[in-house]
Each structure stands twice: as structure tokens, then as C-alpha cells.
Chains A and B, each alone.
Chain A
């Protein structure tokens, strides 16, 4: 990697050089993502336990999820991760000559994130109208009423927390896009873009687990 640093960028007090600073940031984000993994892990464990206890009820409930919207959203998030990867790679190859590509890729990433959230909102709205929100007016008959409510509780909590993460991600990606435009980064110093990229990919990976668990598992059985 060429070592061309903008004179303004110095390592913080506690670091000897920018390489060390970048290494620190990299380990930091990976440790943070490990934390996040355990955060979702508690929920996925609960999902696994109840799916095992109430296999039929969960299958029945899963049939009421919006497969089309879920699938489109999966495609949107995967595409956004591709755009993110393009942005990070372009930034690392040469910030100065690729600035416009980086800004474009990051903007696309954030826009796809917003599209995901909008579709998710539409999905919630449909589910609300179909009385799939657990509580007194819940749509299911007595046979699967309990398990289906458990399923939809887990569905709303899992996707809700994931949505919170996407929202934060959109904010972060938007900010680094704006910073890139302003010229805050240079070749050799693109750490924040890489960090935000890793976070975005993580949010995407969470969805890759949620998509089959919510929309697909058991759907084809009778």
C-alpha cells in the first residue's frame, strides 16, 4: 500500500503511527461485532427452542409472512453489501482518484438501506392489518394461537432490532459518504469507511440468517 498521507492526519496521542491506529480500529470493530453476534444469539436461541417445542405452530405461522417482500428485501440488502464492498475497495485502492466512485457506492448503499426499511414498514403495515400482531385481537384460531403468537413476537423483535441496526447503518454510511465528499479521507487513511463497511456487512449477515428462519423454513411442507 502506498504510504501517501495527508499532512493533516496524525495518529492520536496513544498511538505510535497510523498503522497501529488502523489495526486498533479493526480489532475494535471485530470485537464489537462479536458482541452483536451474542446479542442476536440470545434471540435466535429462543427461536430455536420454541421452534423445536412448537414445530407445527411455527410452520403454520411462518406461512403468513410476506414471502415476496422478504425476498425482495434480501436481494436489496445483498446488493447494498455489494455496493459497500465496491466503496471500501475503491477507497483503499486510491482515495484521490476514486473519490467519486466511493461517494457513489456509499450513497447507493445507504439508499438501498432506506429502500429496505421502507419495504419493511410496508410489511409491518400489512401484518398489522391482518391482525398478526400478538395480543388480544390476534388472527389465529385456538389451535395454533399460542405458538403463532410466540412466532410473531420473535419475528417482530428480531426484525425490529435488525431494523434498528439498519437505521443506524444508514446513518453511518450516509455520514462517511458525506465525509468522503468533503475530502476527509485520503489514501492510507480510509479506516472509518472500512469500519462502517464491516458493520454494514454484519447487518446483512444477520438478515441472511433471519430470511430463511422467518420466511422459508417449513413453508413447503403440508
Chain B
């Protein structure tokens, strides 16, 4: 094993990364992974609220069955923009590029990621892709849905498909570079003594995520390129008039986009795996199982894309195989849920805000996961395909799961990132409100879907109105709840009480340096002597 040898950093740098330089230039040209993480924080927050604004308009529109706010065409553009922005500009970078970027070197006992300049480049690429997408939005938006299905997107849509494609295509390279950087860093920059099985699960799950990022994203890139060629030149390989097969587009698209679902959930699972042991004061139950379940999800996740196409005209046998594999991929996820639950069993549980978010994650993710099994069953899927049941299912995973986990991680590591404590009372309120608002928004959508309400329609039969109004009311609660952290976390940067180096008495290496960390993370490279979750009877740091 080749790891860094223990020697003092040649240059310890400034004592606090945040004040290492105060010019705009020192931020925009920084190579410090912590500062780049903050740049990402800012960008994804902007996109979260752009995507959120679209969602707000959608829910407002759906209060009335007849459609009172926007035209059908505008409605199509709203849900497309919501999907495109939330998937590629918020969810995929959410945990890896912010918390992950900040914490990976700290948890590894390293001074930075393996490729700091590439890390900065990744942010610029992301921003450039974001600008193209915003441009597509400003000049009128896109009406294809985030899935860009051909031939509508290539031949018929009268919206700005190409600009959106350019935006997503470019952003993909930022994903690839980040994934590459993480893989190499985790392989080669572990502190002395930090063996693979001593790594915190968060790092393992980001490793699994990165494998998907580097292997799936290029397929999206080539698919979108083929689509753009077809749209620009009015002839392409998915064009049915020359024998091309639009289903091939769907296969290629989902070959990326299903693994992308795991890009959006694995980091969340990693966050929760850090928080549960810390706030239950117990080692993570079945560490190796959790670790290998992440890897299994990443691997099997590549083999299940066909379940998005059960009604698209696939052969029955292909459907059977994809159905079976989809059941199979749920097994490692279920194992993780059992392991988190077993960790809680007879723990000394504290209900601080990160823990509330983490517990919320388990409930919402489990609901999303179990309804995923309904959808993996061929016969049930035929009944609920393209209904609100599907919408509710994936929002439970992506929003209930990933966004909740993002907030869990944000609160858990906030003292390390900012050096300040967030206000506990407000944070707990926000956590509870998010859980309540989320369920009120999306649980009615399961019922709507089961009753037959199709997705992507802005008018509906009046008998569905009750459930739609409930859902919109929930969305209002959720909107307020999502705005709250922006307020109190912002407040805490200036007024929060100083956090100290290790407010949670946690064991990971990131807590063994000062808060906020110095520019080069550690004055002396730590030497790891034990596993990540030695919480019983008293917490022992990994380098003790």
C-alpha cells in the first residue's frame, strides 16, 4: 500500500482557510478544495432555488383542475426546467461537490485532493454549463421533459433544446473530472495507517459514486451529442425516417440516467452512515456490509436501466430480466437500512438536528425504496407508468432521500466548515417541517398516481383536486422549510457561537483539526491507528 509518509507539511499555510486571502481573485483562482467546495455551495444554492421556483409554479398551477395560471406550453417548459436544473445542477453535484469536496481530504488526512487545479476547472465547467442552461431558460425554455426523448426533441419541439443540451453536455465533464479526482485521491492520498477498511463509509460511498460518475456520464455525453447532431442537421441515427430507432436513444439515455439515480443517493447514504453512529454513540453495525453494499449498488445499478422502458416496446424477456435485476439492486439498499436501524438499537441517541435529518432520511428513503419495488414489478408498472405514482416514488428518493441527507450533512459538518454552531432550535424546527412538508407534498401523489393521474398534465379531472390541493399545501410548507436553513445558517456565520474543533465528539480525522480548518488541513499529517466508529464506551479519534 502506498500512502503518504508522516512528515510535517512543508508549508502549513494560513491558520484558517477562510481568511487565507480576501480578494475575489483569491477565491476565483483558489486551489483549496475547501474554498472550491464553498464556490459549489453558492452555485448549487442558486440552482436549487431556480429549480424550486419552477416547482412552486407547477404546484400553484395544479391547485385548480382547469389550469388557471399558465398555458400547457408554459407548463411543459416549467417541469422540464425543474427537472433539468434539479437533476444536473443540484442533485448530482449536491453532496459530492460540496460536502464531499470539503471533507474528503480532511477525512483522509490529506492536504488537498489529488488534482487541485482539475477541481477548480470542474467548478468552472459546471458554471459554464449552468450559464448555457440559464440562457436556454431565459430565451424561452425547453418543453421536452428532462429526458429529451426523440423524435420529439430532435424533430418536432419548437423550443431551445440545443442550448439546454449544450449546458448539460458541458456540465457532464465537470462530473467526470470530479469523479476522477475523488477516485485517485481515495486510492493514493490516504494518511498512513488509513487502510481501506478503516475509511469512513462516507468515503466509500463517494468512491462508489465516483465510479458511476466516470463510467456513466460519458454515455450521456455521447447520447446528447447524437441528439444535438440530429436536431441541428435534421438527420441523425435516431431518425425513424431512415430506419433509426428512437428506442435506442432511450436505452442510451437510461444507461446513464438510471445509474445517475445512484449518483444522487449513494452520497446521501454515506452522510447518514456518518451521522447515525455519531449520534447513537455506537459503531456502525456491519461496517463491511454497508461498504460492499455501496459497491454492489454501483455495480448492479448499471444493469437495471430497462425498467424505465417496460411499456416502451421492449421484448417480454428483456422486461423479465430487467425486472429481476431491479429487485436485486434493492437488496443492498435494504441491507443498509437494516444496518442503520441496528446501529440505533440500544444506542445513546441524541436528537440534534443532523440526527433528525438522518432519521428523516431513513424513513423517506425506505418509503421511496419500497415503492420502487412496486415499479420494478412488470404488471404493476404497466398500471402506474407515467403516473404521479412514479413522480412520488422518485421524489421520495431524490428529495426525501438526497436533499434531506444533504441538509443532514450540511448541519453535521457546518461547525467544521464555518467554525460556528447553527442555532439548534431553528435547525430542529426546519428538520421537522421538511419532514412534514415533504410527506404532505408527495404522499398524496402516490394516491393520485394509483388513481390514474398522469404526470406532465396541467389540467385534470375535478375528482383529483382534493389530493392536488393537499400536495400544493405541502409544497408551500416545504418551500418555507427549505428557506429556513438559508436564514439561520447565514445568521450563524456571523452570530453563531464558536463551535470548537469537535462539537459532536466524533471520531473522524476531519474533527481532529481546527474549525475552520487551516489552509493545508493538518499541521502534521495524522497517523491512523483504528477504524472510523469507535464510539463505545468513549469516542476514540481515528488517530489516537
Contact = CB atoms under 8 A, between A and B. Distances in A.
Interface stretch (B125-133, B138-146, B231-239, B387-395): B231-239
Interface residues of A, number: 40
A49 B248 contact: yes
Nearest to A39: B218
B69 interface: no
A34 B245 contact: no
B243 A150 contact: yes
A211 B217 CA distance: 26
Contacts of B255: 42
Contacts of B217: 35
Interface string A134-163: 110000000001110110011001000000
B116 interface: yes
Interface size, B (range): 35 or more
Given A13-B11, A20-B188, A28-B115, A34 B233 contact: no
Contact of B214 (A14, A17, A23, A31): A31
B215 A16 contact: no
Contacts of B205: none
B231 to A, nearest CB: 14
Given A28-B114, A154-B237, A147 B243 contact: yes
A151 to B, nearest CB: 10
A31 B185 CA distance: 12
A19 interface: yes
B222 interface: yes
- Chain A interface SS verdict (over half): helix
B2 A157 contact: no
B226 A46 contact: yes
A14 B242 contact: no
Interface stretch (B35-43, B176-184, B409-417): B176-184
A27 B113 contact: no
A32 to B, nearest CB: 6
Interface in A8-66: 12-17, 19-20, 23-24, 27-28, 31-32, 34-36, 38-43, 45-46, 49-50, 53-54, 57
Contacts of B113: 14
Contacts of B188: 20, 23-24, 27
Nearest to A17: B5
Contact of A43 (B11, B187, B216, B222): B222
A147 B5 CA distance: 60
* Chain B CB within 10 Å, residue with most, of A17, A42, A49, A157: A42
Contacts of A32: 180, 214
Contacts of B110: 14
Contacts of A23: 2, 188
Nearest to A160: B229
Given A17-B5, A42-B223, A27 B237 contact: no
Nearest to B214: A35
Given A16-B5, A38-B218, A149 B235 contact: yes
A14 B116 contact: yes
Contacts of B216: 38
A6 B219 CA distance: 42
Given A146-B243, A153-B236, A27 B189 contact: no
B235 A38 contact: no
B111 A42 contact: no
Contacts of A16: 4-5, 7, 525
A42 B218 contact: yes
Contacts of A38: 215-216, 218-219
B112 interface: yes
B103 to A, nearest CB: 15
A95 to B, nearest CB: 23
B520 interface: yes
Given A38-B218, A46-B252, A13 B111 contact: yes
Given A14-B113, A53-B245, A135-B233, 5 more contacts: A14-B111, A17-B5, A24-B188, A35-B214, A50-B237
28 contacts: A12-B116, A13-B111, A13-B112, A14-B111, A15-B4, A16-B4, A16-B5, A16-B7, A16-B525, A20-B4, A20-B189, A24-B184, A28-B184, A31-B179, A31-B184, A38-B215, A38-B219, A39-B218, A41-B218, A42-B219, A42-B252, A42-B255, A43-B226, A46-B248, A46-B252, A145-B242, A150-B242, A157-B226
The 6 closest A-B pairs by CB, nearest first: A39-B218, A146-B243, A42-B222, A146-B242, A14-B112, A16-B4
